[in-house]
Amino acid sequence: MDERFEAAPIGVLETTPDGVVTAVTDRAAALLDVDPAGADKRAIGEIFPESVDNSIPRAFEGGLSQRTTVEQYYPGLDRWLEVTLAPADASVFVYLQDVTSHHEHEREIEHLRDDLDRLTITNRLISDILAALVDASTREEIAATICERLGETDIYEFAWVGERELGGDELVIRASAGTTGRTLEQIGDCLDDGVAPPEGRAVETGTPEIVQPLGGEQSVPESIRRAAFADGLQSLLAIPLSYGSNVYGVVGIYSSNQDAFSERERASFGTVGEMAGFAINAARHRNQLLSDTLVELTLEITDQDAPLVAASKGSGELVLDGTVPQGSKLLCYVTVTDQSPDAVAETLAETEGTTATRVIGEYDTGGSLELRLDEETPLGLLATQGAAIQHAAYENGRGECVIELSPAEDVRRVAEAVTREYEGSVVAKRQRERELATSREFRDELSDRLTDRQQNALRTAFFAEYFQSPRGSSAEEVANALGITGPTLLYHLRAGQRKLLSEFFEATDDGTRE
């Protein structure tokens, strides 16, 4: 072989027309992972490792008459080679070039393209789910909406929604859709037996759970793994349905693809879980507003770690005037009687769970305060559980809180949300009829006309004594409490006041609309 072939950037072999190697360059030997000294006089089929088609040795069987180029993957080498067979007068030259990086690049591009296509489909699917959740008015509709949208697509096999059983901590299946096979049946059996599937862990931790591959995860009950294997399922994503600190349930999504859930998909489905939790929370409040009867619960709190209980150890009384939810915080307005509001505010500021305090007004017998509580405080826990706080008073290191719930709510769970974390007990429970419908309907209609921001602005300004004369809070102080600018506050106040006044002045004396 010409010595110049040794300097070539590719590997070169020279063979006889029937495929016997007569010369091999060092680069060719390295690409084929053979000893160049032992390659001479061997058949080409002994030099080349096996591939799917074995096209190079076979090419010599029928005699080579023209130049031929093929690309093949060689598993033994874990390498792609471009091989060119070039017949000469009495020889055949075999040129070898490693094209693995090119194929890996192409594969990466294809993988990214598949991911993009899948992400586009997923985002469209999630957008449809979010739009449908806006119209869902009951928890049953919310569960069915999620399952139908996810379970009846081509990219997932099935989906199911589980919720905590009324009066207990166990999960129960509320809805499912898609090709559930034996897997959902086994999930139901495990739930009945008190064995937690991955979806149960998502509910307990409030964080998504992903299992890829499903069959190899020992934390998944064996019966579910066996059923999933039989049904051809390889991956699972469990998304908690949560709002604030409340986890109402979980959606389990199953796929036959082992790598079905990318990091982006998981983040997108997290939005679905939060939106579904918000919708469930809204449905709970809607049930409470529309229910003809209410459950009234009175709780006694004696835990000295509770902020308002701790602040009431001295003389006098603290009475809750109103609350305004602010995401994971609860803005509270309190009247202080027979105590210095400054002293109470100082005590509260040093108590865990209170993030901000402000004295609104001082009077001869006390004053008024604004404070912001964490959701892990007793009042914060009640608010996140969907309870309407009607009254709360604190005196001598003891507090009493009266809340209202819809009869459809799990009263025991709401109470335990507080008593599990703080010393306290339920001292009274009664069911009563709601006030006259005309009064309720009037308030509901006013509430429907106001946006959430307008309601929060008016409610905060009212309890902060912005409308008092003299004012207990300035516009800047109310805006700071809401985390908005002064002009934004005034915009919401004016818009809300106009709607309230329009509702009042457009009504006739007998209460009907003109």
Per-residue pLDDT, averaged over 282-287, amounts to 69
And the tokens for 142? 């919310």
Residue 425, pLDDT score: 93
Q: With helix as H, strand as E and coil as C, how does 445-502 read?
A: HHHHHCCHHHHHHHHHHHHCCCCCCCCCCCHHHHHHHHCCCHHHHHHHHHHHHHHHHH
Confidence of residue 509 (pLDDT cuts 50, 70, 90): very low
**Residues of the chain by 3-state class (helix, strand, coil), percent to 5:** 40, 30, 30
Q: Are 44 and 21 in contact (CB under 8 A)?
A: yes
Q: Are 14 and 91 in contact (CB under 8 A)?
A: yes
Percent of the chain at pLDDT above 70?
89
Q: With helix as H, strand as E and coil as C, how does 110-150 read?
A: HHHHHHHHHHHHHHHHHHHHHHHHHHCCCHHHHHHHHHHHH
Rounded CA separation 251/266 (Å): 12
Percent of the chain at pLDDT above 90?
25
Residue 373 burial (10 A CB sphere; 0-12, 13-18, 19+): buried
Cα-based torsion angle of the residue sequence 386, 387, 389, 394 in order, rounded to the nearest 10 degrees: -110
Residue 501, pLDDT score: 82
And the tokens for 239? 């998304």
> Which 3 state secondary structure label does DSSP give 506?
coil
Query: Could you read off the pLDDT of 486-495 as tens digits, one per residue?
Result: 989 999 999 8
Of 266 and 256, the structure prediction assigns the larger pLDDT to 256
Residue 352, pLDDT score: 92
Residue 121, pLDDT score: 67
Residue 115, pLDDT score: 66
Rounded CA separation 90/370 (Å): 99
Query: Could you read off the pLDDT of 195-243 as tens digits, one per residue?
Result: 888 888 888 888 888 888 887 788 889 999 999 999 999 999 999 988 7
And the tokens for 491? 């915009």
Per-residue pLDDT, averaged over 263-277, amounts to 79
Query: Could you read off the pLDDT of 72-130 as tens digits, one per residue?
Result: 888 888 889 999 999 988 888 999 999 988 888 888 877 677 666 666 667 777 777 77
Segments of 20-140 assigned E as strands: 21-24, 68-74, 79-87, 92-98
Residue 288, pLDDT score: 62
Residue 42, pLDDT score: 86
pLDDT at 398 over 90: yes
Range ranked top by mean pLDDT from 57-61, 115-119, 269-273, 286-290: 57-61
Confidence of residue 317 (pLDDT cuts 50, 70, 90): very high
Q: Which CATH superfamily is domain 108-288 in?
A: GAF domain (3.30.450.40)
Per-residue pLDDT, averaged over 351-357, amounts to 91
Residue 506, pLDDT score: 60
Q: How far from each other are the two terminal CA atoms of the chain, in whole angstroms?
A: 106
Q: Is 66 left (phi over 0), alpha (psi -120 to 50) or beta?
A: beta
Residue 116, pLDDT score: 67
Q: Are 89 and 109 in contact (CB under 8 A)?
A: no
Of 445 and 65, the structure prediction assigns the larger pLDDT to 65
Average per-residue pLDDT in the chain? 83
Q: How many residues does the chain have?
A: 514
Please tell me the least confidently modeled range out of 78-87, 250-259, 275-284. Answer: 275-284
Per-residue pLDDT, averaged over 377-394, amounts to 88
Global pTM value: 0.53
Residue 49, pLDDT score: 85
Residue 7 burial (10 A CB sphere; 0-12, 13-18, 19+): exposed
Q: Are 394 and 312 in contact (CB under 8 A)?
A: yes
And the tokens for 170? 């166990």
Of 304 and 120, the structure prediction assigns the larger pLDDT to 304
Cα-based torsion angle of the residue sequence 249, 254, 260, 264 in order, rounded to the nearest 10 degrees: -10
pLDDT at 167 over 80: no
Residues of each domain in the chain carrying CATH 1.10.10: 436-514
CATH number listed for the domain at residues 436-514 = 1.10.10
Residues of each domain in the chain carrying CATH 3.30.450.20: 3-98
Q: Are 412 and 406 in contact (CB under 8 A)?
A: no
Task: Pick the closest to residue 249 from 169, 141, 131 (CA basis).
Answer: 169
Confidence of residue 245 (pLDDT cuts 50, 70, 90): low
Of 418 and 154, the structure prediction assigns the larger pLDDT to 418
Is it true that domain 3-98 has CATH number 3.30.450.20?
yes
pLDDT at 332 over 80: yes
Residue 510, pLDDT score: 40
Residues of each domain in the chain carrying CATH 3.30.450.40: 108-288
Residue 119, pLDDT score: 67
Residue 513, pLDDT score: 37
Phi (first) and psi of residue 371, to 5 degrees: -140, 150
Per-residue pLDDT, averaged over 141-168, amounts to 80
**Angle made by CA atoms 68, 80, 259, in degrees to the nearest 5:** 135
Rounded CA separation 309/394 (Å): 6
